[in-house]
Amino acid sequence: NAGVMQNPRHLVRRRGQEARLRCSPMKGHSHVYWYRQLPEEGLKFMVYLQKENIIDESGMPKERFSAEFPKEGPSILRIQQVVRGDSAAYFCASSSDSSQPQHFGDGTRLSIL
Amino acid sequence: KQEVTQIPAALSVPEGENLVLNCSFTDSAIYNLQWFRQDPGKGLTSLLLIQSSQREQTSGRLNASLDKSSGRSTLYIAASQPGDSATYLCAVTNQAGTALIFGKGTTLSVSS
């Protein structure tokens, strides 16, 4: 499967725990984007990364959230000390450059108990 | 601040009908506009991308138009089929080309 791969598909955490969401972009893509879809709301941009660099993090909460896209391996979205309001579907997308279409993964559904 | 609105929020049509989905955006300074399809529990599938300099794009039974000056785009679906049932999302790319700004979508149901 040459598409954007996200894992896990479903993640359950208790309040206060850490959540790590992984995204492997399509082959040949070096641009990665993270979006969050809250219940009954549209998708909201969080962060845009190129290899080893954060380009735009204007949509990411200032506290508890971080993202990385290392030289080797998948992009990681990390949420520390999760709260109930973090429950959402988190989608990753990738593109070959910013002028090309973004291709989306199937998302990670995060549930906080 | 860019805002994207999609009308209607939901639409039900019988099989075979032609239909139009509407999208409007408040800031005409966009990089491009993209239409997506989202099936329940799934990710997004890109349908059509229109660059800011283009007026329309076509793919099979789908045709998307863009009028930047009025801040509008339409997605036309010809001869609808039950398999077209899904949520259709419109998104504009900000001028920096770094982020997609989405509408809340139109949920389409095509009955056989």
Quick check: A25 contacting B, CB < 8 Å? no
Quick check: A4 contacting B, CB < 8 Å? yes
**Do B89 and A42 make contact, defined as CB atoms within 8 angstroms?**
yes
pLDDT tens-place string over residues B40-96: 888 899 999 999 999 999 999 999 999 999 999 999 999 999 999 999 999 999 877
* Cβ neighbours of A48 in B, within 8 Å: 98-99
Quick check: B103 contacting A, CB < 8 Å? yes
Q: Residue A21: its pLDDT value, please?
A: 98
**Do A104 and B36 make contact, defined as CB atoms within 8 angstroms?**
yes
Q: How far is CA A9 from CA A5, A86, B26, in A?
A: 10, 16, 34
Query: Judging by beta carbons within 10 Å of its beta carbon (0-12, 13-18, 19+), is residue A23 exposed, middle or buried?
Result: buried
- With vertex at residue A77, the alpha carbon angle to CA B43 and CA A73, rounded to the nearest 5 degrees, is 90
CA distance B92 to B90: 7
CA distance B11 to B9: 7
Instruction: Tell how strand B56-59 and strand B62-67 pair up.
Output: antiparallel
Max CA-CA distance within chain A? 39
pLDDT tens-place string over residues A22-79: 999 999 999 999 999 987 788 999 999 998 899 999 999 999 999 999 988 999 999 9
